[in-house]
Amino acid sequence: QVQLVESGGGVVQPGGSLRLSCAASGFTFSSYGMHWVRQAPGKGLEWVAFIRYDGSNKYYADSVKGRFTISRDNSKNTLYLQMNSLRAEDTAVYYCAKEEWELLHLYYFDYWGQGTLVTVSS
């Protein structure tokens, strides 16, 4: 069965960095586009970043462009989000999410991880 397990969250000071990981299993990871979506406490969902199945194309929300980097290691079935220059407004639960269709990019999400909490605070 499909599993997505995020890790790497925690408390970090403003201006600091953090790297999130998402370990995938139960499907051919290298054939699917992947995304990060976040949710601030008590708020709605915000899409953060996308990476193509082969890593050759990436998109970012304007709110994180230039500060966050999405990447993947298909040999390790793992998705990453490198977060630099963190701000208080980046505080959220970060979810990794999988697209439904293999090798065909329709950017909706059939599986989500359980999320990892990132808190940016001094």
Residues that bind other proteins (CB under 8 A): 35, 44-47, 50, 59, 61-62, 95, 100, 106-110, 112-115
Output 18 or 97, the one with its CB closest to other proteins: 97
Q: What backbone torsions phi and psi does residue 7 show, to the nearest 5 degrees?
A: -155, 170
CB of residue 82 to other proteins, shortest distance in Å: 19
Q: Is 25 exposed, middle or buried (0-12, 13-18, 19+ CB in 10 A)?
A: exposed
CB 28, min distance to other proteins, A: 17
Amino acid sitting at position 5: V
Beta carbon of residue 21, minimum distance to other proteins (angstroms, whole number):
17
Residue number, 54 or 100, with CB nearest to other proteins = 100
Cα distances (Å, whole numbers) of residue 122 to 20, 28, 29, 116 = 20, 40, 37, 19
